[in-house]
Amino acid sequence: MNVNAASTAGGFRPNLIRRLYEWTVGWADRPGGSRALFCIAFIESSFFPIPPDVLLLALCVGSPKKSFRFALSCSVGSVLGGMFGYLIGFAAWQAVRGLFIPFVFSQELFDKVQVLYQGNAFLALLAAAFTPIPYKVFTVAAGVFNVDFWTLASASVLGRSARFFAVGGVLYFLDHRSKCWWKSTSIGVSRRFSRSASEDLLPSNT
């Protein structure tokens, strides 16, 4: 599916994802960047399309001695946001389903997560929490399909903390030139992933 075509068909501006990406990264140069990181990590766990990693990277490069503090803020925000996503799925899914599908994620992806939850829900959540797999669909779907709340909480704490502290740890210990290279490389990868993931965030025209 062509992302630009999909975004136009769904009433979205073709450059929506790019603008959201630039807005997210822009918080690294503004007062309150750490608070913004917490909030973005929170909302990304249920509906926001841009992963918090891009802001985490920028903040850590700018203030490497605070890398672990930034990683903690990002982890806590993301875990709490995942719990909020669970609550949406558990208590409000019938009311908000039309807002989430197909505007936040696709029905196809939602159905795939349901199948994964019929296997090992903990491993599915752990993989989604640690990797670039869209975490939001797993948190919301966990509530919809009555996955045990503590399964979600424990997998989220482990997976999200490992992911964000890995980023913070690398940038804490690298020298300045290596940090700049790693930041530009990682942000480039995150940007390409964000564009690719937008296929699940924007409605299909089929």
> pLDDT, tens digit, for every residue of 132-168?
888 999 999 999 999 999 999 999 999 999 999 999 9
The two tokens of residue 38 are 């917490």
Q: 41 in a domain, yes or no?
A: yes
The two tokens of residue 135 are 């975490």
Among residues 67, 38, 58, 37, the alpha carbon closest in space to that of 183 is found at 58
Taking the C-alpha atoms of 59, 64, 68 and 69 in order, what is their torsion angle to the nearest 10 degrees? -60
Q: 57 in a domain, yes or no?
A: yes
Q: 154 in a domain, yes or no?
A: yes
pLDDT by position in tens, the chain (length 206)? 333 333 333 334 448 888 888 899 999 988 999 999 999 999 999 999 999 999 999 999 888 899 999 999 999 999 999 999 999 999 999 999 999 998 899 999 999 999 999 999 999 999 999 988 889 999 999 999 999 999 999 999 999 999 999 999 988 887 655 555 555 655 555 555 544 444 444 444 43
Among residues 78, 80, 70, the alpha carbon closest in space to that of 33 is found at 70
For residue 151, which amino acid is it? Answer: T
Largest Cα separation within the chain, whole Å, is 51
Spatial contact of 41 and 52, defined as CB atoms under 8 Å apart:
yes
Q: 174 in a domain, yes or no?
A: yes
Spatial contact of 154 and 79, defined as CB atoms under 8 Å apart:
no
For residue 121, which amino acid is it? Answer: A
Q: 84 in a domain, yes or no?
A: yes
Angle at 118 between CA 132 and CA 149, to 5 degrees: 70
Distance from C-alpha of 183 to C-alpha of 193, rounded to nearest angstrom: 15
Spatial contact of 40 and 30, defined as CB atoms under 8 Å apart:
no
Structural domain that includes position 55: 3-201
The number of folded domains in the chain is 1
Spatial contact of 89 and 141, defined as CB atoms under 8 Å apart:
yes
Q: 129 in a domain, yes or no?
A: yes
Q: 206 in a domain, yes or no?
A: no
Q: 85 in a domain, yes or no?
A: yes
Burial pattern 64-84, b for ≥16 Cβ within 10 A else e, equals bebbbebbbbbbbbbbbbbbb
Length of the chain: 206
